[in-house]
Structure 1
Amino acid sequence: MWFDESRLDDEHALAGVDAALRTLAESGARVRREAGAAGEASASRVDEARQRQRPRAVLAAGPDARLLRDVLESTCPVPFVAWPAPGLPGWVGSLDLVVMLAPQGSDAAAAGAVAEAVRRGADVLVACPPGSLVAEHAVGRDVVLLPTDTGDPLATAVVVLDFLASAGLGRPADADDVAAALDEIAVRCSPLRDIAANPAKEAALGLAESAPLVWGGSPLAARAARRVAEDLRRATGRAVLADDADQILPVVEAARARDVFADPVDGDAVVRPALLVLDDGNEEAHVRERAGRLRAAAAAHDVRVVELAHTGGSDVARHASLLLQGRYAATYLGLGLVDGDR
């Protein structure tokens, strides 16, 4: 495989990924759509939630449950747990709140966990499509159902965060802020913008002949890094590592020297790492120190550094922006890779 950068600005080549690019461009619209539907459904339940006794703990499950934890863990007045396994832990009971994110609504394990939470008498907050398998099990006096219909995990997480904030259990994601940030990225990364003015196309070019190492310094940037790495793997078929600085640093330091005479088309070139940094503007000392170590090692070992940044708005908006930029970059990277025979 080799990278043909001309395909990134070729309208005929871009037509082949039009559906994927449209899905990315509509990210902000999906957040607004889910926020509007959830707002209408939950308005009457927010006051009720505020009047209830504060739960002993909150347990979140489903896609992006860890995103909820990363956002709320430092501000939630009670312990907040992201549960990765099927079912519920044994300690969940009538004093607790179970939050189920089920954007597709068809997961039998999620439906079973909701039914079990209802049986144990816990307060339950479910975000899923009305009429879905999960919704059928989300029935009870202490159940709040936030209707969703886009199937978008991020949009679903945003409306749940805003509901929990309204109930006094953390700070809001601010759906309008997140949607506006996603719209901004859709404009900046539009296929109509050429490589010189498009951060996603520029990132794809920087990662074209490499095995990407993806790093984000803050918890939310690190979460975006893991999701972006998944998209890069699908786009390239290459090994892509997203991890902490301590795990990425040895890979950078072990990079083999670049062979300027190798012919990538004939398969002579060794695939070398490139460092993709997701910068959300976090200025904490430990983040700056790790970023400095990674950049210094990359410079010492001739490893290219590619950066995607979004430093304005709320923390969730910055996370969403980095995630969307990375997904655009993965799409353009897949578009530019062609068989060596072509």
Structure 2
Amino acid sequence: MHTSSWTTPTASGSYDPLAVAFYDIAHEGAQIRAVAQWCESEQTQQLCTLQPRSVIILCPEHWGRAAARLTLAVAEPTGCPVHISDQLPRFAGSLDIVVAISERADHDGLSHSIVTAARRGCHVVVACAPHGHIAADAEDVAAIVVPALPLAQGPSPARVFAVVTAVLRCLDHTVRAAGDVGAELHISADHADRELQECSPERDQLVNPARQLALLSGRVIHSGRGLVAVSLADTMSALWTAFGRASASMEAQELEVALPRLEPKEQNIFYDPEFDTPPSSNTELPLHTVLWLSAETWARSQVSEDATHERDAVVRMLARGYAATAFFGATDA
């Protein structure tokens, strides 16, 4: 992982709030790299020999399920059906692979799903915090555990993306060895690190794309054209809302049609509060549209990146959108 002064105390011994907010975000490249190293293990190699009926991905967090759907959009077509949920479906059995992902140490529902899946004979893969009830339950049922970074504790969309990518790629029978998947993820980790360097709190608004995104307040609608771009918009909407910036997401074609109804209404100069209906609250909040991995003339903000591989572009945009959350509370963004 590339490190910088955002992870160290200031001269006075206190921590810069931006450095603290950016700490977990700065580990996104390392999160991917940890999964890449896991791909070199014997346990991961065993996944390459399986031919499951389905893959069941369990994420208790809404943003985590959105990130899993984004990964699936990038990976399609897959060799088997993929089911994404927050709880174990009734059909889960010995022919299925269950992948449980959460940054939490404890979650009763996820722990119960892990234990139940193992009892039903499912192959179980768990990516969670290094200590806690989830990790203990995973060990008790001899699940395949994806190693976690010891210090990073916050949400990690990059980790969700990397774990789901690793499992789905290992099940792709055009892949000869899990180590090949690890090599692909190492490249993705480098892309995440480069993006995070550009989004560092040490860089000001003029050259920092994450700070520029953080300036968008009021009503924010994330959008995109195509399955991957829309899935990325859904992920950003869920992630930004989780960090206090209420957002929505919508497919670009539908949003273009809806824009006239979403635009703030002009104040009637003859408005009389004693006789007229109160104006719409839309007049109080500006509208911002963020178009991911797409280009439209009507979009207020467009976020894209030139990359030779779609997966690498998505990884960079995930890092950028997540980095923006560090600046939500900054007065100067």
- Which residue pairs with 2:42 in the alignment? 44
Distance 2:142 2:172 in 1: 17
Identity of aligned residues (%): 22
Q: State the Cα distance separating 1:258 from its structure 2 match.
A: 6.7
Q: State the Cα distance separating 1:199 from its structure 2 match.
A: 2.1
C-alpha contact (below 8 Å) 1:123/1:142 kept by paired residues: no
Whichever structure has more helix as a proportion of its residues is: 1
Change in CA separation of 1:21 and 1:146 when aligned onto 2, cut-off 3 Å: closer
- Which residue pairs with 2:54 in the alignment? 57
C-alpha contact (below 8 Å) 1:99/1:124 kept by paired residues: yes
Q: State the Cα distance separating 1:120 from its structure 2 match.
A: 1.1
Counterpart amino acid of residue 33 in structure 1: A
| Unmatched runs of 5 consecutive residues or more in structure 2 | 1-14, 176-180, 268-280
C-alpha contact (below 8 Å) 1:102/1:134 kept by paired residues: no
C-alpha contact (below 8 Å) 2:94/2:122 kept by paired residues: yes
Query: Does 1:276 pair with 2:290?
Result: yes
TM-score (norm 2): 0.72
When the two chains are superposed, the root-mean-square deviation of aligned CA atoms in Å is 3.5
- Which residue pairs with 1:192 in the alignment? 202
| Unmatched runs of 5 consecutive residues or more in structure 1 | 1-13, 260-266, 282-290, 299-303
Question: Secondary structure of the equivalent of 1:60?
Answer: strand
- Which residue pairs with 1:10 in the alignment? none
- Which residue pairs with 1:306 in the alignment? 301
Query: Does 1:117 pair with 2:117?
Result: yes
- Which residue pairs with 1:228 in the alignment? 236
- Which residue pairs with 2:250 in the alignment? 243
C-alpha contact (below 8 Å) 1:76/1:170 kept by paired residues: no
- Which residue pairs with 1:77 in the alignment? 79
C-alpha contact (below 8 Å) 2:243/2:325 kept by paired residues: yes
182, 201, 206: which one aligns with 2:211: 201
C-alpha contact (below 8 Å) 1:57/1:96 kept by paired residues: yes
- Which residue pairs with 2:188 in the alignment? 178
Alignment of 1:1-342 (within 5 A): 15-36=16-37, 38-39=38-39, 43-52=41-50, 54-62=51-59, 63-64=64-65, 65-72=68-75, 74-82=76-84, 84-86=85-87, 88-130=88-130, 132-138=132-138, 143-149=143-149, 150-151=152-153, 152-168=156-172, 172=181, 174-205=184-215, 207-208=216-217, 210-233=218-241, 239-254=246-261, 255-256=263-264, 270-279=284-293, 292=296, 295=297, 298=298, 305-336=300-331
Q: State the Cα distance separating 1:121 from its structure 2 match.
A: 1.3
C-alpha contact (below 8 Å) 2:93/2:122 kept by paired residues: yes
Counterpart amino acid of residue 202 in structure 2: L
Matched residue count: 290
The C-alpha deviation readout for 1:124-154, integer Å capped at 9, x for no partner, is 2222345532233335888422222344342
- Which residue pairs with 1:9 in the alignment? none
Question: Secondary structure of the equivalent of 1:94?
Answer: coil
Distance 1:270 1:120 in 2: 54
Change in CA separation of 1:170 and 1:139 when aligned onto 2, cut-off 3 Å: farther
Distance 1:229 1:141 in 2: 35
